[in-house]
A and B are shown apart, each in its own frame.
Chain A
Amino acid sequence: MNTVDIILVLLIAAAVVFALRSCKRHKHSCGCCTGDCSQCAAKFKE
């Protein structure tokens, strides 16, 4: 594996972790898991 490979693997891993965390973080009362929720008005909480 060269440096580019390692950077790409790290980027993919970061994207997956971000995606998983975003689903977990956005677990709203209405059951949705993405973005600002216009259903239960839960705002994207950083």
Chain B
Amino acid sequence: MTLKELKIGSCAVITEVGGEGALRQHFLDMGVIPGAEVKVVKYAPMGDPMELTIHGYSLTLRLADADKIGVTQIENAEKAETEKPKKKKKDHPGLGEGGKFHPKGSGDPLPEGTKLTFALVGNQNSGKTTLFNRLTGSNQHVGNFPGVTVDRKDGPIKGHPNTLVTDLPGIYSMSPYTSEEVVSRSFVLEEKPKGIINIVDAMNIERNLYLTMQLLEMGVPMVVALNMMDEVTANGGSIDINEMEDMLGVPVVPISAAKNSGVDELIDHAKHVAHYREKPLKRDLCDENDCGGAVHRCLHGIAHLIDDHAKRAGLPVRFAASKVVEGDSLVMEQLELDDNEKETVEHIVLQMEKERGLDRSAAIADMRFAFIKRVCEKTVIKPRESKEHIRSRRIDKILTGKFTALPSFIIIMALVFWLTFGVIGAGLQGLLETGIDKLVSLADNAMTKTGVNPVIHKLLVDGVFAGVGSVLSFLPIIVTLFFFLSLLEDSGYIARVAFVMDKALRKIGLSGRSIVPMLIGFGCTVPAVMATRTLPSERDRKMTIFLTPFMSCTAKLPIYAFFVQAFFPDKAVPIIVGLYLLGILTAIFAAFLMKGTVFKGDAVPFVMELPNYRLPGAKNVMQLLWDKAKDFLQRAFSVILIASIVVWFLQSFNMNFALVQNSEESILASVAGIIAPLFAPLGLGDWRICTALISGFMAKESVVSTLEVLFSGNVDSAMTHLSAAALLVFSLLYTPCVAAVAAVRRELGRKWAVTMVVWQCVLAWVAALAVRLIGMLIGGA
């Protein structure tokens, strides 16, 4: 039978891991290996994906992937961790300390003044960024969602000049499965840090040590930081640090990054091993007695064979040998083996597969987990189920329950949007708007009184203050939305939303994780685009960024309200709701289109860990809000300021650079006049409408204000109902505002940002034309 066929609560032993390539390797790296015990916890409300526990942690898998994993059902016997037999306490091996590993002052130190660079490596959600912040005193955002760090971050250790720690994205193995793994692996291999700080979640030690084993093979001075030790001891567990240090051959330091305990000792050890170039004492982690020693002989044989190639390529031999056995194409390429050597390697591996009874990848993963099992048996007394986990299970009964998950999700999101856009954010926005208006009017009066030059006066009031002020007024909404989203993220709920929504989103080529940015898009596209950083694959990320602008943002609401009031006062609600639905339908259509063309392929497999629910830290949330506010303000006073001045200039001067009284003679009018014929088929050929739409590129709200000024409040006399309908559809779908485009440029680069602008303008034009033609056909003109 396969894993997919198991019922909720059933236990089984994995007998076979099917699939191929990187995905299969990823399964193996996550501990889904033959012999491992699994228990099915639940299925998502839509029946897919499933949640299971393996090696003591929660993993989610899609049913299609679970179908590739063969299992044999076993009795559901919860194994109680028993007290280990008393044994003689091992002396502290003293690794990473002067005086024991080498006499004080001796060793092989780096030349004085060499900068000690460290890579901070660990599994996702193991507390790397918390530790990074502790080490460096910086304030990087920490989330309770796997994959918060999507790129590397650097900083010197506080109080230790001439050091540099790089926080790398969380990874499960050194296989290049995701872009984060590539970033982390390349960093360790190519930038050759002087030391590695490997952070290990002590509550999930078996799975975390898998990465440790691969890091040990790299032969770089290393320290293992056993994080969350406070949780282990609080729940009745313990770890024999001395024994573990002895078995791993590297210093092991128990810490609690959240409580800042053990961090100083960690720094001392890390500095010591890096300065004295103390490499791991053990890199040969395969046991010659393990299952007849087939894997051991295979690895050693290949290590000898490729030794010269690995040295030439600058790769650690042991690491290269394991990767060659696993068939890692990147390492194979770097080694430049000749045909004879490749053939010899293949023969050795085939022989190993025959003797071991497992394929190459599974055999290597099994060898690693066998070592980890030995280490854990000797050193770890597992904690009982933590109170955090018990609490999470209880909360999950409602938030991911079959009948309660979707209603809970809808209620929570409705509450977030209502509070953001209806109560707190909107209220604060109103206050800020009043404040800005008062300031502008004060400045306006002061300039009038002092007889400031009219051009400068107009530039400041109509250009700078109007432009920057209108954008600034959105600060409260953005900060409030981020406040709620950070609460959702830090609590661990967002991982559940992805779990619940995965099946629905997969139909349009995305994975469950894309739901979050899309939801934020209803508020504002800028934070939505930024939120895509948590997506694991570049394809999903780009596709999600391209879809978020179709989620009608709040800045478009004034446009809808303005035209509905002017042209369709009796059908206000159905038209506005219809526009929102049209946006969603267009996104679905666009997703299908992109799935078959630009972004071919399937969404990344949904292999994700569900973290325990945690109470968000006030400091962390406040720091995030401050960062977002600062970022937004910096943008308002750089990009938006310049753009506002440029637009004002184009609106106020003619082609001879003379100030115009009538904006019809301005450069903007001339340019809009050229573009006007393009809009004629939509019934929007008036240059003033074109100008309003162009100004909407700066901020959507300015479409309304521009129309008001140019039409002097008589817009209903200058447009038909049909052209108003076309304009509404065009406004819904055309290019997002400059702030959103800047965010896209920031995330994906200029080429993609330009592509988005062009693509949405074309789509909006076609949709608006369709509306007009359909309207004319049914006699709406």
What is A's interface to B at a CB cutoff of 8 Å?
A: 1-2, 4-5, 8-9, 12, 15-16, 18-20, 22-23, 30-36, 38-41
Contacts and interface: CB of A to CB of B under 8 A. Distances in A.
B150 A36 contact: no
A41 B456 contact: no
Contacts of B627: 36, 38
Interface string B441-461: 000000000111100100110
Contacts of A33: 638-639, 742, 746
Contacts of A30: 151, 746-747
A15 B634 CA distance: 12
A12 B746 contact: no
Given A34-B634, A40-B151, 16 more contacts: A2-B450, A2-B453, A4-B450, A5-B453, A8-B456, A8-B460, A12-B645, A19-B639, A19-B641, A20-B638, A30-B746, A33-B746, A34-B631, A35-B634, A36-B630, A41-B154
A8 B153 CA distance: 40
Contacts of A41: 140, 151-155, 167
A22 B453 contact: no
B37 to A, nearest CB: 39
Given A31-B745, A32-B746, A4 B452 contact: yes
Given A30-B747, A41-B151, A8 B641 contact: no
A8 to B, nearest CB: 5
Given A39-B151, A40-B151, A41-B151, A34 B456 contact: no
Interface string B715-756: 000000000000000000000000000100111111000000
B637 A15 contact: yes
B595 interface: no
A22 B638 contact: yes
Interface in B136-161: 140-141, 150-155
B464 interface: yes
Contacts of A38: 140-141, 627, 631
Contacts of B460: 8, 12
Contacts of A12: 456, 459-460, 464, 645
Interface in B103-157: 140-141, 150-155
Contacts of B746: 30-34, 39
Contact of B641 (A2, A5, A16): A16
B55 interface: no
Contacts of A18: 637-638
8 closest A-B pairs by CB: A41-B153, A32-B746, A35-B634, A19-B638, A35-B631, A5-B453, A34-B635, A22-B638
B602 to A, nearest CB: 26
Given A38-B140, A38-B141, A41-B140, A5 B638 contact: no
Nearest to B633: A35
B631 A36 contact: yes
B642 A1 contact: no
A15 to B, nearest CB: 6
A27 B596 CA distance: 34
Contacts of B630: 35-36
Contacts of B634: 22, 34-35
> Interface centre among B167, B456, B459, B533, by most A CB within 10 Å?
B456
A30 B167 CA distance: 16
Nearest to B753: A31
Contacts of B459: 12
A23 B745 contact: no
A35 B637 CA distance: 11
A1 to B, nearest CB: 6
Interface of B: 140-141, 150-155, 167, 450-453, 456, 459-460, 464, 533, 627, 630-631, 634-635, 637-639, 641-642, 645, 742, 745-750
B151 A2 contact: no
A4 B454 CA distance: 12
A31 B604 CA distance: 25
Contacts of B745: 31-32
Contacts of A2: 450-453
Nearest to B637: A19
A18 B746 CA distance: 20
Nearest to B636: A34
B531 to A, nearest CB: 12
B747 A31 contact: yes
B585 to A, nearest CB: 31
23 contacts: A2-B453, A4-B450, A5-B453, A8-B456, A12-B456, A16-B645, A19-B637, A20-B638, A20-B642, A22-B634, A33-B638, A34-B638, A34-B639, A35-B630, A35-B635, A36-B631, A38-B631, A39-B533, A39-B746, A40-B153, A41-B152, A41-B153, A41-B154
A31 B741 CA distance: 12
A29 to B, nearest CB: 8
A34 B637 CA distance: 10
B637 to A, nearest CB: 6
A15 B167 CA distance: 35
Contacts of B533: 39
A28 B197 CA distance: 26
A15 B636 CA distance: 12
A2 to B, nearest CB: 7
Contacts of A39: 150-151, 533, 746-747
B639 A23 contact: yes
B452 A5 contact: yes
Nearest to B744: A31
Contacts of B748: 31
Contacts of A15: 464, 637, 641
Nearest to B455: A5
A19 B467 CA distance: 15
A34 B450 CA distance: 35
A34 B746 CA distance: 9
A12 B175 CA distance: 53
Interface centre among A18, A36, A38, A41 (most CB of B within 10 A): A38
A30 B152 CA distance: 11
A46 to B, nearest CB: 13
B252 to A, nearest CB: 28
B505 to A, nearest CB: 24
